[in-house]
């Protein structure tokens, strides 16, 4: 049971169904995870209410294909172990996930410092509220701006970073991530220096969530494997293989290479367009030019 049909709830429900029907289907002897029932309860008349109606309807249709049920105008009045109440109606639920938003502890507003709309305290990189170096706020009560492009301390500590984003993401636009990575390059001192510890991959075939927008996309497991090879073996990833997977059968329907930005895949002009071997890397500025 997922309470809340916003971006978090929709993605969460789709991912749960994806995991149950695909990744866990061979892990149990006596139960079939594919039989798991996933339900979204949304209090408003539509899911993804901040987005256009065509995207809302598309999300519902794709959720249905994944076996996720959506119930609208469902105002949850109580959550208890094993069940959820909608007014006088009881719905049994083995696992209930709250995705309808939360408010921070009221302590934040009692401090007399700046807070965000959820009541979280605005803090700097050292977790100090503005003008209060003697005070620390951390955890869920702290609001830290996470778009600082100066990753030099992270780099100097030996950190490695892989950023991924879907070009067709309709909920969080890829332009923001591209702009951030370019700012990192400017601050660090060039593309070469940045790629020594941070690489950015833009997959073109999928959307916000692989299970909600079919197409070759970077699986979390593949990105993590690339990061582990980089950290543990010193092998920096120039390419990650994107995959389109049938959530019901687990079959790989298509593959496509995803190259470290600013390199992008270009079709060679022959071969299966669903096979990664039919693509080659080109600089973003060269896309669309002759394939020869």
Taking only the tens place, the pLDDT of each residue in 77-110 is 999 999 999 999 999 999 999 998 778 889 999 9
> pLDDT per residue over 145-154, tens digit each?
778 899 998 9
Contacts of residues 241-245 at CB distance under 8 Å and 24 or more positions apart, as own/partner, are 241/276, 242/203, 242/205, 242/206, 242/216, 242/217, 242/218, 242/276, 243/216, 243/217, 243/219, 244/205, 244/206, 244/214, 244/215, 244/216, 244/217, 244/274, 245/22, 245/210, 245/219
CATH 3.50.50.60: which residues of the chain?
2-98
The answer to whether residue 160 scores a pLDDT higher than 90 is yes
Q: What angle do CA 249, 254, 258 make, to 5 degrees?
A: 130
CA distance 218 to 216: 7
- pLDDT band (50, 70, 90) for residue 203: confident
Mean pLDDT of 185-201: 96
Verify whether residue 11 is a known catalytic residue.
yes
pLDDT value at residue 103: 80
pLDDT of 102-133, one tens digit each? 788 899 999 999 998 889 999 987 899 999 99
* Token representation of residue 82: 């094993």
β-strand pairing of 78-80 with 68-71? unpaired
Answering whether pTM is above 0.85, one says: no
Out of 3.10.450.50, 3.90.580.10, 2.40.50.140, 3.50.50.60, select the CATH number for domain 2-98: 3.50.50.60
Pairing of strands 161-166, 198-203: parallel
Cα 126 from Cα 137, distance rounded (Å) = 9
From 11, 42, 89, 145, the catalytic residue: 11
Question: Quick check: 212 pLDDT over 70?
Answer: no
Rounded Cα distance, 41 and 211, in Å: 19
What is the Cα Rg of the chain in Å?
A: 22
Q: Does 210 have pLDDT greater than 60?
A: no
CB–CB of 82/1 below 8 Å? no
Q: What angle do CA 154, 200, 195 make, to 5 degrees?
A: 55
Arithmetic mean of pLDDT, 214-238: 87
Give the mean pLDDT of 151-171.
Answer: 87
Mind giving me the DSSP string for 115-152?
B-TTSPEEE-TTSPBTT-TT----GGGEEE-------H
**Percentage of the chain exceeding pLDDT 90:** 54
Specify whether the CB–CB gap between 234 and 187 falls below 8 A: no
Region 15-43: what's the mean pLDDT? 82
């Amino acid at each position: 049971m997922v309470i809340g049909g916003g971006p978090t709830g929709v993605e969460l429900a789709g991912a749960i169904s994806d995991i149950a029907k695909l990744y866990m289907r061979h892990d149990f002897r006596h139960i079939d995870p594919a039989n798991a029932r996933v339900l979204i309860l949304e209090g408003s008349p539509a899911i993804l209410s901040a987005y256009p109606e065509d995207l809302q309807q598309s999300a519902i249709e794709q959720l249905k294909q994944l076996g996720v049920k959506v119930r609208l105008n469902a105002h949850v009045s109580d959550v208890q172990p094993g069940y959820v109440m909608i007014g006088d109606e009881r719905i049994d639920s083995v696992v209930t996930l709250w995705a309808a938003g939360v408010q921070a502890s009221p302590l934040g507003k009692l401090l007399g410092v700046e807070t965000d709309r959820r009541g979280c305290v605005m803090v700097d990189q050292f977790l100090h509220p503005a003008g209060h170096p003697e005070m620390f706020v951390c955890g869920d009560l702290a609001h830290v701006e996470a778009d600082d492009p100066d990753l030099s301390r992270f780099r100097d500590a030996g950190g490695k970073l892989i950023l991924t984003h879907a070009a067709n993401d309709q909920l969080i636009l890829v332009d923001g991530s591209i702009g951030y990575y370019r700012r990192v390059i400017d601050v660090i001192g060039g593309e070469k220096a940045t790629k020594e510890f941070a690489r950015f991959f833009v997959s073109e075939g999928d959307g916000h969530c692989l299970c909600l927008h079919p197409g070759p996309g970077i699986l979390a497991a593949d990105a993590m494997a690339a990061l582990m090879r980089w950290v543990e073996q010193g092998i920096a990833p120039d390419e990650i293989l994107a995959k389109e997977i049938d959530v019901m059968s687990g079959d790989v329907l298509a593959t496509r290479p995803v190259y470290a930005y600013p390199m992008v895949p270009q079709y060679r002009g022959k071969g299966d367009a669903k096979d990664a071997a039919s693509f080659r890397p080109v600089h973003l500025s060269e896309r669309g030019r002759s394939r020869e």
